[in-house]
Amino acid sequence: MPGSANLNIMLKAARKAGRSLVKDFREVENLQVSMKGAGDFVSRADIAAEAILKEELMGARPTYGWLAEEGGGEEGKDPTRRWIVDPLDGTTNFLHGLPHWCVSIALEHKGQVVAGVIFDAAKDEMFLAEKGEGAFINEKRLRVSGRSKLIESIFATGVPFGGRGDLPATLQDLARLMPTCAGVRRWGSAALDMAYVAAGRYEGFWERRLNAWDIAAGVIIVKEAGGFVESLTPGGELLEDGNVVCANEAIFDKFAGIIRNT
């Protein structure tokens, strides 16, 4: 299993933030009886988790840059490296007491993600990968699914919520894809969707208008597990445009063709 100094820093930070979130999650479950204040509480939990991550990651590597959901971006003294962090991916699930959310940390070097960690603290599943070293869940090697027929495959996506302009495009995707496959899931965490593709639990995943911190760790974990990841816009810059499609090698072309409508 990969174990570079940077990866170990990421794992320690993810576990520490995860422990904090699990404690807050138990509190959210108690708050479900009265909606009053639950949203504010979750915002505080999110910000507290990001503070833990920043202290751990920047404390260990003070020259690196920083990009995160709550705190925005900062240039580091070392312009070639930056942390890309989502302290709580799956906030709506967390708010509703659904145990499907995660901490996501990626390390970028010269524009390429070189290490990624996605920690599902509620289920104690740590997905991790380092460039050239393979992908793992806890101590076990990850491989994408071996299925090659669309009709046997299940896919994940995010269905845009209230007021988002990309809902019609997603509904058209579903209309084209659903007659050809075994099902589509919408579980509410893009990072875990990608981790599940890497683990062979889903055959593929696509979504539009994501942020770099939603997908950066997932990109390397899928690739190191043998999957393909591209921008939905052929030739597009994935972390910049946030439109992602990924799948195992056997069905990638067919699946991406349906989503891209080509």
Quick check: 242 and 250 in contact, CB under 8 A? no
Token couple for 205: 């995943």
Task: Describe the strand order of the beta sheet including 244-248 as a list of residue ranges.
Answer: 183-185, 154-157, 204-207, 244-248, 227-231
Strands, E assignment, 90-243: 102-109, 112-120, 125-130, 135-137, 140-141, 154-157, 183-185, 204-207, 227-231
CATH topology of domain 5-141: Fructose-1,6-Bisphosphatase; Chain A, domain 1 (3.30.540)
Residue ranges of domains in the chain: 5-141, 150-260
Q: Which residues touch 99 (CB under 8 Å, ≥6 apart)?
A: 25, 93, 122, 123
pLDDT, one tens digit per residue, over 88-142 is: 999 999 988 899 999 999 999 999 999 999 999 999 999 999 999 999 999 999 9
Q: What is the pTM of this model?
A: 0.95
Domain 5-141 and domain 150-260 have a common topology: no
pLDDT, one tens digit per residue, over 201-251 is: 999 999 999 999 999 999 999 999 999 999 999 889 999 999 999 999 999
Q: Specify whether domain 150-260 bears CATH 3.30.360.10.
A: no
